[in-house]
Chain A
């Protein structure tokens, strides 16, 4: 393949990886505090719909993105109340969020938009970072994207720094590793976990906004199509670290970009088979490449004050 084609593919991959990166960051944030996050998919879906809805009614993309983030926070708050306040098993609360999101978005979509033609709306324009975007090769891959994609890149670095180079991140990790000790030294496990889960929800909500505000200008039921779970896989693949998750998410981004690229190039191979190569690759490579990951020690266990 000529170099421009590869560059084009990587640029698509970087864009497609956006919701996966944000979803994986959402997982990192929550699980480092000791709360299993399988609600990513549902939270993302809620953000996807909220972004679309607000975009259509206000016409403002900024408000739409903010709305998606806030709805993500709301879904996460429900997850937090269920799993932290009412000690619901975190797997169950996450499943509840996912089912609820499917129901609520499907219901609202049917009631509001199914009659007549679906209203269209604008999507975020691509931004070329001045100077950087003109760099050969790297410019197109890294510096010519939608705002959400740039936000995702910045957030990867932010979460990494906060988690590993700031006192707050140390406390967060302490709560996820050994909550009793954290509480003993004066941290509020509940407050830390609530904060982490809600922040995680905001990240997932932003990831959801990518679909309706960064990708295509309409909403379909089940639009996230399992991306939240792929994000979860990226997080585990990345060993519960922001940078590792980023790398894994980019790999899955390439997985999505490859069939698109081949189609554009008019190369006739069954697109389903090309599309699954990276998934197979993950299964084959994962065991050899990665030693046993070390998830947070107290993950999944609700904290009960004694």
Chain B
């Protein structure tokens, strides 16, 4: 089906056309960067973090709780709420990490289960114990977070908030961690070959627990940014699908902490552009998922491009196989 080029204009205009459109793209990219980091970091240690979804949800929950229930002056309150969000996510990542390290329970099962637990607990808390007590509020949502715990908006009057800067900082921090520190070396070694790591005196168990906790913390920060930077309250279901998109971002960025920034920006632009495209040209928003899938195929499969253009394969190619870790220690 051929689409006239003017019809796709809505997408470009919606994602890159005007300052507010750029702002929206970056707003979308923020949780993608952090979620992508959470998935990538775990990949580096040979772990499958399918649990970014749950870690984002719990991070949002703990951050918003400290946000509305605690009274503190501005910088302290924000710091406390962000710390709570990161710790909440980290705790949710620690559980599968510790279970894997101590008992060998497959992290794919435990993270999926924890996603469901997080979603259900959120749904219960927001419609019960954490619900806004105001009689005017009938839907399940928390009270508003006071301004003292807001992640500040970067450029008025747009929605882009400081969470985006935190995401960029986090990416650089993860990159430094992996390339410049012994902890990062341990993570990469465990990911490359757990047995070799063991012989080299690296504690595989400790490294796994630490990696999953850090990954959870990053995802928790993603949830924190959404509640303290965007809505300033919490409703169930706002982050549905972020964890899955995060996996796609991590794959597109080849699990490189800096490489996934452009991947997250691309997905962010696609997502924010999709809304406008649907409005302007009646192209359903779902097309974006199809485009995402095609991008992934062509990025991940140099073989296809070579086959299409009849190119010869380079003599030696190192091909990172994420899937080969599937069975390790399961």
Residues of A near any B CB (own CB < 8 A): 36, 82, 85-93, 95-100, 102-107, 110-111, 221, 226, 229-230, 232-233, 236-237, 270, 272-273, 275-276, 279-280, 282-283, 286-288, 290, 292-293, 295-297, 299-302
A229 to B244, CA, bound (A): 12
Query: Do residues B326 and A106 form an inter-chain contact, with CB atoms below 8 A?
Result: no
5 contacts between A and B (CB under 8 A): A87-B319, A106-B289, A221-B286, A273-B124, A279-B117
Quick check: B120 and A111 within 8 Å, CB to CB? no
Residue interface mask B95-139, A partner, CB < 8 A = 1: 100010011111011101111110011011000100000000000
Report B159-194 CB contacts with A as 1/0, cut-off 8 Å: 000000000000000000000000000000000000
Distance of B126 from chain A, by nearest CB (Å): 10
A82 near B297 with CB under 8 A, answer: yes
Interface flag for B78 (CB, 8 Å): no
Chain B residues with CB below 8 A from A92, complex form: 251, 296, 300, 322
- What B residues does A272 contact at CB under 8 A? 120-121, 123-124
Q: Does B70 contact A (CB under 8 A)?
A: no
Residue B327 contacts which of A96, A102, A295 (CB distance < 8 angstroms)? A295
B291 contacts which chain A residues (CB < 8 A)?
103
**Chain B minimum-CB-distance residue to A237:** B109
A270/B128 in contact, CB under 8 A: yes
B296–A95 touching, CB < 8 Å: yes
Contact yes or no, B284 A107, CB < 8 A? yes
Give which listed residue, A91, A226, A282, A288, contacts B323 with CB less than 8 A: A91
Which one of B113, B289, B330 lies within 8 Å of A283 (CB-CB)?
Answer: B113
Q: Which residues of chain B in 181-227 are interfacial with respect to chain A, using CB atoms and an 8 Å cutoff?
A: none
B103 touches A300 (CB 8 A): no
**B301 an interface residue at 8 Å Cβ cutoff?**
yes
Residue in B closest to A275 when the chains form the complex, CB atoms:
B120
Chain A residues, CB < 8 A from B106? 236, 293
Q: Which of A97, A100, A292 contacts B104 (CB 8 A)?
A: A292
Whether A103 pairs with B251 at a CB distance below 8 angstroms is no
Look across to chain A and name the residue whose beta carbon is closest to the beta carbon of B320.
A89
B156 CB, min distance to chain A CBs, angstroms: 35
Known: A276-B121, A299-B326. A110 touches B286 (CB 8 A): yes
A273 touches B303 (CB 8 A): no
**Interfacial chain A residues near B112, Cβ < 8 Å:** 226, 229-230, 232-233
Q: Which residues of A contact B110 (CB under 8 A)?
A: 283, 286
A103-B326 CB under 8 A given contacts A92-B296, A95-B248, A279-B113: no
Given contacts A100-B289, A103-B290, A300-B327, contact A95 B120 (CB under 8 A): no
Q: Which of B282-330 contact A (CB under 8 A)?
A: 284-293, 296-297, 300-301, 303-304, 307, 319-327, 329-330
Pick from A111, A287, A290 the residue with the most CB of B within 10 Å.
A287
**Complex: how many Å from CA A252 to CA B221?**
31
Find chain B residues with CB under 8 A from A273 CB: 120-121, 124
Report the separation of the CA atoms of residues A95 and B307 in the bound assembly, to the nearest whole angstrom. Answer: 22
- Find chain B residues with CB under 8 A from A221 CB: 286
Residues on the A chain within 8 Å of B303, using CB: 85-88
Closest 4 CB pairs of A and B: A103-B289, A287-B103, A300-B323, A106-B286
Contact flag A301-B297 (CB < 8 Å), given A107-B284, A233-B112, A279-B116: no
B247 within 8 A of A: yes
Residues of A within 8 A of B247 (CB): 95
Q: Which among A91, A105, A233, A290 is the interface contact of B251 at CB below 8 angstroms? A: A91
List the B residue with the shortest CB-CB distance to A221: B286
B301 with A82: CB separation less than 8 A:
yes
Q: Does B42 contact A (CB under 8 A)?
A: no
Residue B26 interfacial (CB < 8 Å): no
Taking the closest CB of chain B, its distance from the CB of A114, in whole angstroms, is 9
By a CB distance below 8 angstroms, the chain B residues around A230 are: 112
Q: Tell me the bound Cα distance from A93 to B304 in angstroms.
A: 13
Q: Which residues from B are CB-within-8-Å of A85?
A: 303
Q: Which residues of B contact A107 (CB under 8 A)?
A: 284, 286-287, 290
In angstroms, how far is the closest chain A Cβ from the Cβ of B277?
13
A259 vs B270: C-alpha distance when bound (angstroms): 38
A95 and B290 contacting across the interface, CB-CB below 8 Å = no
Q: Which residue of the partner chain B has the closest CB to A102?
A: B289
Q: Which residues of B contact A97 (CB under 8 A)?
A: 293
User: Which of B95, B287, B296 has most chain A Cβ within 10 Å?
Assistant: B296
Asked if B50 is at the interface (CB within 8 A of a chain A CB), the reply is yes
Expressed in whole angstroms, the minimum distance between the Cβ of A252 and any Cβ of chain B is: 10
Name the residue on B nearest A288 (C-beta): B103
Residues of A within 8 A of B321 (CB): 89, 300-302
In the complex where A102-B286, A102-B289, A103-B292 touch, is A287 in contact with B326 (Cβ < 8 A)? no
Known contacts: A89-B300, A272-B120. The answer to whether A286 contacts B105 by CB under 8 A is yes
Complex interface: chain B residues within 8 A of A89 (CB): 251, 300, 319-323
Whether B296 contacts A96 by the Cβ 8 Å rule is yes
Q: Enumerate chain B residues within 8 angstroms of A105, measured Cβ to Cβ.
A: 286
Q: Which of B115, B251, B323 contacts A301 (CB 8 A)?
A: B323
Chain A residues near B307 (CB-CB < 8 A): 86
**Which residues of B have CB within 8 Å of A233?**
108-109, 112-113
Q: Chain A residues with Cβ under 8 A from B304's Cβ?
A: 86
Distance (whole angstroms) from the CB of A127 to the closest CB of chain B: 31
- Please indicate the chain A residues that have their CB under 8 angstroms from the CB of B301 in the complex: 82, 86-88
* Nearest CB in chain A to that of B317: its residue: A87
Q: How far is the CA of A39 from the CA of B61 in the complex (A)?
A: 30
